[in-house]
Amino acid sequence: MKLRLVLIWLLCFASFGTWAALIRVTDTDSLTLALNKAQAGDTLVLATGVYEGSFKVTQSISLKGEIGATLDALRQGSALVIEAPQVSIEGLNIRHWGRDLYYRDAAILLKKGADNVQIKGNRLVGDGFGIYGEQLNSPIITDNSISGNGAIHVLDRGDGIYLKHVNSPQIDRNQLIFVRDGVYLESVTHSRIYENQFTKLQYGIHYMYTQADEAWQNQAIAVDGGYALMNSTHIYLHHNRVTQARDFGILLNITEASHVQANVASQIHNPKGTVELGNEGKGIFIYAAQHNRIQDNEFSHSDTGISMAMGGEENRLWHNRIMANQTQVKYVGEAQLEWSYQGQGNYWSEYQGWDLNGDGLGDIAHRPNDSLDKLFWLYPEAKLLMESPVVLLLRWVERQFKPQVTSGISDSFPLMQRGAHVLIDGGSR
Amino acid sequence: MKKYYALLLLVPLLFGCNKSEATDHVHKAEMIHEHDRCHLCGMVITKYPGPKGQVHLKAEKTVPKFCSSRDMFNFALQPENKRQIDYMMVHDAGTTDWDQPDDGAFIDAQSAFYVYGTTKKAVMGPAVAPFSTKAAAEAFAKEYGGRVLRFDDITLELLAGDK
Q: Is B109 left (phi over 0), alpha (psi -120 to 50) or beta?
A: alpha
Greater confidence (A128 vs A396) lies with A128
B20 has pLDDT over 70? no
Report, as an integer, the average pLDDT of A258-273. Answer: 96
Do A248 and B59 count as a contact with CB atoms less than 8 A apart? no
Least confident of A35-49, A366-380, B16-30, B121-135: B16-30
Size of interface A-B (CB pairs under 8 A): 70
Q: Give the model's pLDDT for residue B8.
A: 46
Among chain A residues, the shortest Cα distance to B163 is held by A254
Q: Which residues contact A189 (CB under 8 A, 6 or more apart)?
A: A167, A168, A210, A211, A212, A213
Compute the average pLDDT of residues A42-48: 97
Q: DSSP secondary-structure letter at A409? A: E
More confident residue, A401 or B49: B49
Is it the case that residue B19 has pLDDT exceeding 90?
no
Determine the straight-line distance between the first and last CA of chain B, rounded to whole angstroms.
73
Residue A13 scores a pLDDT above 50: no
pLDDT in tens, B89-99: 999 999 999 99
Q: Indicate the residue of B34, B39, B160 with minimum beta-carbon distance to A311.
A: B160
Average pLDDT over residues A129-149: 98
Q: Which of A36-40, A102-106, A336-340, A380-384 shows the lowest mean pLDDT across its residues?
A: A380-384
For residue A421, what is the DSSP state? -
Collect all residues of chain B within an 8 Å Cβ-Cβ radius of residue A333.
Answer: 78-79
> For B124, which of A231, A333, A380 is closest by C-beta distance?
A231
pLDDT of residue B21: 38
pLDDT for position B26: 77
pLDDT band at A98 (very low <50, low <70, confident <90, very high): very high
Answer yes or no: do A311 and B80 touch at CB < 8 A. no
A367 pLDDT above the threshold of 80: yes
Q: What pairs with residue A417 in β-bridges? A: none
Residue of B34, B39, B125 lying closest to A288 (CB–CB): B125
Task: Kindly state whether A379 is in contact with chain B, defined as any CB-CB distance less than 8 angstroms.
Answer: yes
In A296-427, which ranges are E strands? Answer: 298-300, 304-308, 316-318, 321-323, 327-330, 336-338, 347-348, 408-410
Contact flag A288-B60 (C-beta cutoff 8 Å): no
Return the axis-axis angle of helices A389-401 and A371-378, rounded to nearest 10°.
140
A332 touching chain B per CB within 8 A: yes
Q: What is the dihedral of CA B63, B67, B72, B78, to 10 degrees?
A: -100
User: CB A253 to CB B124 under 8 A?
Assistant: yes
Q: Distance, in angstroms, between A351 CA and closest chain B CA?
A: 26
Interface check B49 vs A, CB under 8 A: no
- Give the nearest partner residue to A309 out of B39, B43, B78, using CB atoms: B78
Does the CB of A209 have a partner CB in chain B at under 8 Å? Answer: no
pLDDT exceeds 90 at position A122 = yes
Distance from the B35 Cα atom to the nearest Cα atom in chain A, whole angstroms: 7
**A287 and chain B in contact, CB less than 8 A:** yes
Interface with B, mutate which of A277, A308, A379 (most B CBs under 10 A): A277
Helix or strand (DSSP H, E) at A230: strand A225-230
Tell me which of A164, A232, A254 to substitute to probe the interface with B (most B C-beta atoms closer than 10 Å). A254
> Which residues in chain B touch residue A377, judged by CB atoms under 8 angstroms apart?
80
- Report how far residue A379's alpha carbon sits from residue B66's, in angstroms, rounded to the nearest whole number: 23
Strand A88-90 to strand A55-57: parallel, antiparallel, or no bridges (unpaired)? unpaired
Q: What is chain A's mean pLDDT, rounded?
A: 90
Cβ <8 Å between B160 and A288: yes
How would residue A4 be classed by pLDDT, with cut points 50, 70 and 90?
A: low
pLDDT in tens, B69-124: 999 999 999 888 888 899 999 999 999 999 999 999 999 999 999 999 999 988 88
- Could you tell me which residue, A150 or A18, shows the higher pLDDT? A150
The alpha carbon of residue B40 is apart from the nearest alpha carbon of chain A, in Å, by: 8
Answer yes or no: do B80 and A231 touch at CB < 8 A: no
CB of B64 less than 8 A from some CB of A: yes
Smallest Cβ distance to B74: which of A287, A290, A333? A287
- Whether the predicted pLDDT of A247 surpasses 70: yes
Task: Please state, in angstroms and rounded to a whole number, the distance separating the CA atoms of residues A29 and A17.
Answer: 25
Of A15-19, A402-406, B43-47, least confident by mean pLDDT is A15-19
Best-predicted range by mean pLDDT among A63-72, A367-376, B11-20? A63-72
pLDDT value at residue B15: 45
CB-CB neighbors (< 8 A) of B34 in chain A: 155
Q: Which of B62, B80, B158 to mutate to test the interface with A (most CBs of A within 10 A)?
A: B80
- B85: which chain A residues are within 8 Å (Cβ-Cβ)? none
- Which of B36, B41, B100 is best to mutate for the A interface (most A CBs within 10 A)? B41
| CA dist., res. B97 & res. A376, Å (int) | 41
Q: Which residues of A touch B163 (CB under 8 A)?
A: 254
User: What are the beta bridge partners of residue B53?
Assistant: B66, B90
pLDDT of residue A371: 74
Q: How far apart are CA A153 and CA A282, in angstroms?
A: 23
Q: Does B162 touch chain A (CB under 8 A)?
A: no
What part of A 125-184 touches B (C-beta under 8 Å)? 153, 155-156
The nearest CA of chain B is from the CA of A333 a distance in Å of 7
Instruction: Name the residue facing A155 among B40, B44, B123 (closest C-beta).
Output: B44
